[in-house]
Chains A and B, each alone.
Chain A
Amino acid sequence: MATRTFWQGVRDGTPFILVIVPFGAVFGVVATEAGLNLAETMGFSILVIAGAAQFVAVQMMVDQAPVLIVLAASLAVNLRMAMYSASLAPHLGALPWWKRGVIAYFLVDQAYAASILKYEQQPRATLHQKFAYFMGVITPVCPLWYASTWVGAVLGTAVPAGLPIDFAVPITFLALIVPMLRSAAHVVAAFVSILGVLVFAFLPFNTGLLVAALLAMAAGAEVERRMNKARAQ
């Protein structure tokens, strides 16, 4: 059973290749042009394995920011990962510690989004199936992240300039978010998230997203609570 779930994960993770390959290659090019050598560029993609934070870190290094500021800004971009971790804990928390460590290392946006959608659609899946599915999703994603970074760093830009490849990122996330909007509470949360990020756009280091996300979670939970109360009466 777990093998079949693994391959389901592989299949569901495969479309992310459209995002990962151009994104990884662009990081390889940008990091090399910023003056990082191949080992340093690969060090980012293998040890940090978080595209947005890697771009922020390299950009701030180019801007000559102090090391501590570079770290603060790029870690702030990754704070959302702690929210993913909390959200997955009820599903995967019972795994042995080393498997939780493996999940934590590979916990990228795409793996989180695909897995949480699956876990919510199939709440009766076993712990092993949930782990197998997550590992399936990252199988086409993470190795290609390393490989495309390497290709970008070694070959330089092969993607014709002017193509809107940056937009592969929102398209893949839209494909995952829309099926999540199952109830009025989910729609309200998404709406507060969008509004919040625009209102708090002035906050530094991407922290506006965090404020927006916390407000959106509270809004979703409150709508759910009121709907349950109304139903009970």
Chain B
Amino acid sequence: MSFTTFQIWTVILALGLGSFLLRLSFLGLIGSRSLPEWVLRHLRYTAVAVMPGMITPMILFPAATEGAFDTVRLGAALATIAISLWTRSAVLTIFGGAAVLFALHFIIG
């Protein structure tokens, strides 16, 4: 790349500061003030609203296959959901999902 050292550190420092301020934003501003019920009602769904959308493209169009649909990855994702519903344990689900992923990779991948 043709970025100068100064430009590289500008990106690192500005991105670092910006990311920190985004993370601090509401925690810092709201503090211990109580929020109206309708705001809290929306915030209760933050995690289930962000994370499924974040991983959907990783499952359906993996960057590693340049976006091509991949049976191994979809199979591992479905197995992970099943293991989670069955065991109700995050640790077992992560190790179980990884085991299915590698098993499928070596059998059909």
- Give residues in A with beta carbon < 8 Å to B: 12, 14-15, 18, 34-36, 40, 43-44, 47-50, 53, 57, 61-62, 64, 67, 70-71, 74-75, 78-90, 92-94, 97, 100-101, 103-105, 107, 109, 112-114, 116-117, 120, 163-164, 166-181, 185-186, 189-194, 196-198, 201, 209, 212-221, 224-225
- Give residues in B with beta carbon < 8 Å to A: 1-3, 5, 7-16, 18-20, 22-28, 30-35, 38, 40-60, 62-64, 72-73, 76-77, 80-81, 84-85, 88, 90-91, 93-95, 97-98, 101-102, 105, 109
Verify A75–B19 contact, CB threshold 8 A.
Answer: yes
Verify B49–A189 contact, CB threshold 8 A.
Answer: yes
Verify B54–A216 contact, CB threshold 8 A.
Answer: no
Name the A residues within 8 Å of B64 (CB-CB): 164, 166-167
- Please report whether the interface of chain B is mostly helix, strand, loop or mixed according to DSSP: helix
- Distance A210 CA – B65 CA, assembled complex (angstroms): 25
Cβ-closest chain A residue relative to B12: A43
Number of A-B contacts (CB under 8 A): 281
Q: A62-B1, A107-B23 are in contact. Are A179 and B73 (CB under 8 A)?
A: no
Name the A residues within 8 Å of B9 (CB-CB): 40, 43
- Distance A113 CA – B91 CA, assembled complex (angstroms): 14
Q: Point out the residue from A78, A116, A172 that lies within 8 Å of B18, measured CB to CB.
A: A78
- Distance A107 CA – B47 CA, assembled complex (angstroms): 13
Name the B residues within 8 Å of A112 (CB-CB): 47
- Please report whether the interface of chain A is mostly helix, strand, loop or mixed according to DSSP: helix
Name the A residues within 8 Å of B57 (CB-CB): 197, 201
- Distance A89 CA – B39 CA, assembled complex (angstroms): 12
Could you write out 20 A-B pairs with CB less than 8 Å apart? A12-B91, A34-B1, A43-B9, A47-B13, A53-B15, A84-B23, A86-B26, A89-B27, A89-B35, A101-B28, A164-B62, A164-B76, A171-B76, A173-B51, A176-B47, A177-B52, A186-B45, A194-B52, A216-B50, A224-B41
- Distance A107 CA – B7 CA, assembled complex (angstroms): 26
Q: A71-B14, A113-B47 are in contact. List 10 more A-B contacts (CB 8 A).
A: A15-B94, A84-B46, A87-B46, A164-B64, A164-B105, A169-B58, A193-B51, A193-B56, A194-B52, A197-B57
- Distance A166 CA – B67 CA, assembled complex (angstroms): 13
